[in-house]
């Protein structure tokens, strides 16, 4: 394969051919086999510049889009600086998928709704104008309504963690005069919760090149949790990330983000505020009280509201119990 070798050229080629980019391919190859993705493919593998972690002068990290999930999980410096991110990376999918799947592919993967993935159905996400999951099986559907007709939760676990760090996405190859986010934007702005037709807002030809994190916080403890039926290797019913920053035995800053409950990953500011001043895990139960009120369950996924609250409670208890000595 003579894959083009620089970002500008690849972006231009993508725009010209309308090809879909392929990073690790763990999502794209599955969709092509299922017959729900077609058309040309352009490999990103040749873009060595998008691999690996760069440490910037302020001590912050910039993670190339082609860095694998396993590299994020195993990188000692990332683990120390951004524990919530590394914990999340280590907990998602399976070792084989983490070894190949990339940060960019994880953030931009398509949703796992069984109707979307089945060749037997058309829906908003595949060019149609209905949502068969609404009338059908949506036991794992969204429980927080962001105004979309589609009820498939966003699949990306890394997005949840990056949201908790208020990370920034770097995007190349934008066509002139396009609306939407600029070349640098919050990771949250990769998504539009009201949009029923796609799982991220990048236009064909736009490339995610890196995610930039803010300088690490001193005295951070963190946790990642997901609710599943089996012990491992299962997509979450609900997932949650918590980071808390301590000064002198009390929480001075907190970030809590959740996934698998809405069309995008979500921050829970009301929970974060309630944590300020907390001194230990006892604070968790009170902090999550309002979470259920945010939820607007579908007819057959009502369990998710309380499960969301309790998963958040669990992740908070762990983050608050994790070595507060620092």
Partner 1 sequence: MTLNGAAAEASPGSDTTAAELVRDELGLTGTKVACGAGVCGACTLLVDGTPTASCLLPATALAGRTVTTVEGLAGPDGLHPVQRAFAAHDGMQCGYCTPGFVVEAAAFVDRHRAEHGDTRPSRAEIADALAGHLCRCGAYEGIYAAVAAACAGEHDTESPLPPPRAEAEEKVTGRARYTTDVRPEGCWEAVLVRSTRAHARVAAVDAGGAVHVDLLGADRTVRYVGQPLLAVAAPTPAEARAAAERVAVDYRDLPAALDPAAAHHAGAPVVYPTREAQNAAPSNNEGPPLPGRWRGNLRGPSGFGWRGGTAVRRVKDAAKRGDRRLVAEVFRTGPQVHTALEPHACVARWDEHGDLHLHTSTQAVVGVAEAAAKRWGLPRERVHVTAEHVGGGFGAKGGLRVEVVAAAELARAAGAPVRLVFDRAEELTDAGHRPGARVELGLLADAKGDLAALTMDAYNDGGMSTGGMVATLGLLMYGNAPRRLRDFDVLTNRPPGAPFRGPGGAQFHWALEQGVDMMAERLGEDPLALRRRWDGNRKRRALYDWAAALPVWAERTRGAGTGRFRRGVGVAAANWIYLTDPATVVDLVVEDGAVVARSAVQDIGTGSRSVITDVVRTELGLPADRVRVGVGRSGWSYAPGSNGSRTTASIGPAARDAARALREEVRRRAPGAVSGSGALDPEALKSLEGTQAGGRRRRDRGGYLTPVALPGMGAPGRGLTGAVHVMEVEVDTLLGQVRPLRCWAGISAGRMYNDRLARNQCEGGVVQGIGYALYEQRRDDPVTGAVLTTNLEDYRIPGIGDTPEITVHFHEEGWEHVVGGGVGIGEVSTIGVAAAVGNAVHDATGWRPREVPIRPDRLLEGIGLK
Write the CA distances from 83 to 22, 221, 285, 298, 322, integer angstroms: 28, 7, 23, 34, 11
DSSP for 94-140? -HHHHHH-BHHHHHHPPP--TTTT-TT---GGGT-S--HHHHS--TT
To the nearest whole angstrom, how small is the minimum distance from the Cβ of residue 122 to ligand SF4? 8
Cα separation, 7 vs 137, whole angstroms: 41
Cα separation, 77 vs 84, whole angstroms: 13
Count of other CB atoms within 10 angstroms of residue 232: 7
Match 């493919």 to its residue by tokens: 41
Write the CA distances from 18 to 15, 42, 117, 139, 221, integer angstroms: 5, 9, 21, 35, 43
Match 């084989």 to its residue by tokens: 96
Structure tokens at 108: 């931009």
Among residues 63, 93, 251, 255, which is the contact residue for ligand FAD, using CB under 6 A? 93
Smaller CB distance to ligand SF4: residue 57 or 135? 135
Structure tokens at 226: 């997901």
Smaller CB distance to ligand FAD: residue 51 or 267? 51
Handedness of CA 262, 65, 106, 217 (dihedral sign): negative
Q: Could you tell me which of 212, 221, 286, 213 has the C-alpha nearest to residue 254?
A: 221
| Listed ranges 20-28, 121-129, 279-287, 309-317: which one lies at the site for ligand FAD (CB under 6 A) | 20-28
Q: How many residues bind ligand FAD (CB under 6 A)?
A: 32
**Choosing among partner 1, ligand FAD, ligand SF4, none, which partner's interface includes residue 263 (Cβ < 5 to 8 Å by kind)?**
none
To the nearest whole angstrom, how small is the minimum distance from the Cβ of residue 139 to ligand SF4? 12
Smaller CB distance to partner 1: residue 120 or 179? 120
Q: Between residue 131 and residue 190, which ones bind ligand SF4 under the rule CB under 6 A?
A: 131-133, 150-152
| Listed ranges 88-96, 136-144, 291-299, 304-312: which one lies at the site for ligand FAD (CB under 6 A) | 88-96
Q: Between residue 290 and residue 309, which ones bind ligand SF4 under the rule CB under 6 A?
A: none
Site string for ligand SF4, 93-122 (x = CB under 6 A): ------------------x-x-xx------
Structure tokens at 219: 């005295």
**Choosing among ligand FAD, ligand SF4, partner 1, none, which partner's interface includes residue 230 (Cβ < 5 to 8 Å by kind)?**
partner 1
For ligand FAD, the binding residues (CB under 6 A) are 20-28, 44, 65, 69, 92-94, 97, 100-102, 104-106, 108-109, 155-158, 202, 207-208, 235
For ligand SF4, the binding residues (CB under 6 A) are 111, 113, 115-116, 123-125, 131-133, 150-152, 196
């Amino acid at each position: 394969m003579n894959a083009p070798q620089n970002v500008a050229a690849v972006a231009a080629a993508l725009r010209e051919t309308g090809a879909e980019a392929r990073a690790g391919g763990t999502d794209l190859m599955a969709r092509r086999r299922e017959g729900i993705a077609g058309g040309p493919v352009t490999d990103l593998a040749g873009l060595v510049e998008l691999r690996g972690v760069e440490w910037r002068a302020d001590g912050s990290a910039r993670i190339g889009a082609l860095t694998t999930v396993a590299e994020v999980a195993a990188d000692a410096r990332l683990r120390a600086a951004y524990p919530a991110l590394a914990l999340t990376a280590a907990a998602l999918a399976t070792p084989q998928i983490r070894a190949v799947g990339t940060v960019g592919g994880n953030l931009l993967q398509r949703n796992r709704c069984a109707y979307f993935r089945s060749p037997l159905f058309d829906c908003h996400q595949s060019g149609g104008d209905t949502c068969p999951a609404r009338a059908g099986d949506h036991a794992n559907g969204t429980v927080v309504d962001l105004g979309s007709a589609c009820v498939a939760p966003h699949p990306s676990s890394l997005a949840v963690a990056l949201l908790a760090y208020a990370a920034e996405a770097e995007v190349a190859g934008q066509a002139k005069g396009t609306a939407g986010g600029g070349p640098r934007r919050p990771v949250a702005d990769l998504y539009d919760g009201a949009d029923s037709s796609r799982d991220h807002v990048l236009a064909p030809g736009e490339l995610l090149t890196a995610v930039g994190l803010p300088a690490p916080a001193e005295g951070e403890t963190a946790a990642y949790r997901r609710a599943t039926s089996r012990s491992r290797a299962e997509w979450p019913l609900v997932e949650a990330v918590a980071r808390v920053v301590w000064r002198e035995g009390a929480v001075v800053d907190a970030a809590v983000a959740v996934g698998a409950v809405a069309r995008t990953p979500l921050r829970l500011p009301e929970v974060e505020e309630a944590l300020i001043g907390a001194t230990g895990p006892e604070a968790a139960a009170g902090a999550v009280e309002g979470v259920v009120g945010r939820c607007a369950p579908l007819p057959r996924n009502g369990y998710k509201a309380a499960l969301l609250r309790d998963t958040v409670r669990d992740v908070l208890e762990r983050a608050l119990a994790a070595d507060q000595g620092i």
